Amino acid sequence: MHEILVLYYSHRGSVRALAEHIAAGIHQVPGAVARVRTVPRVSTVCEAVEDDIPADGPPYVEVRDLEECVGLALGSPTRFGNMAAPMKYFLDGLAGAWLNGALAGKPGCVFTSSSSLHGGQESTLLSMMLPLFHHGMLVLGLPFSEAALGTTQSGGTPYGPSHVSGSEGDPVPSTDEVQLARAQGRRLAEVALRLAVAR
């Protein structure tokens, strides 16, 4: 089995829900399995530390997760049109993985959530792609052959799956958002397996 890393940070559960649907899409592809990981919060107070093991949800990511995966789905909430600080902090610490080419030649995709429809989702997705390009990854989007891209009234972009939680912060994705997240997981797994066989 080839493992695809689904790595995310989620503050209120929306990005976590998308990650779970992307993982479900990965599991639909024979020979592929999702390895789901998260990153710890960061603090403005240097002394603050997180427990080594999260209270709930998946374990924290380690560099070996990046080295061992054959593909990467990267998710973060939108923060003023950019990824959240915990994900950026983790990515900023990957100089060793970058030097070693741990992700070079592997496919990757990105996903996000925001509270408003025009809350900066697309710029967040595009900004999350930049580190992946620097790591030499092959970045995948969602093609318009995915019918839900033309019908969604909430999240979902050609740059990657997304969710609009609304002013109440509803973490449950819409039917179209679920379809697009699962389609992205399948697409990532299919491409990753083709590339893994070719290596």
Query: Rounded to an integer, what distance in angstroms lies between the CA atom of residue 89 and that of residue 9?
Result: 11
**pLDDT averaged per 10 residues in sequence order, the chain, 199 residues:** 97 95 98 97 70 81 96 97 96 96 97 93 97 98 96 95 92 96 98 90
pLDDT at 169: 87
Query: Rounded to an integer, what distance in angstroms lies between the CA atom of residue 199 and that of residue 196?
Result: 5
- Identify which of 198, 100, 177, 187 has the alpha carbon closest to the alpha carbon of residue 139: 187
Whether 157 contacts 122, CB under 8 Å = yes
pLDDT at 192: 98
Strand 138-139 relative to strand 162-164, pairing: unpaired
Whether 117 contacts 84, CB under 8 Å = no
pLDDT at 177: 97
Q: Which residue is it, tokens 């399948």?
A: 186
pLDDT at 48: 57
pLDDT at 198: 78
Tokens matching residue 77 = 């909430």
- Identify which of 146, 168, 171, 166 has the alpha carbon closest to the alpha carbon of residue 156: 146
Strand 71-79 relative to strand 82-83, pairing: antiparallel
CA distances from 66 to 25, 167, 169 (A): 20, 35, 31
End-to-end CA distance of the chain: 15
Cα-only R_g, the chain: 16
pTM: 0.94
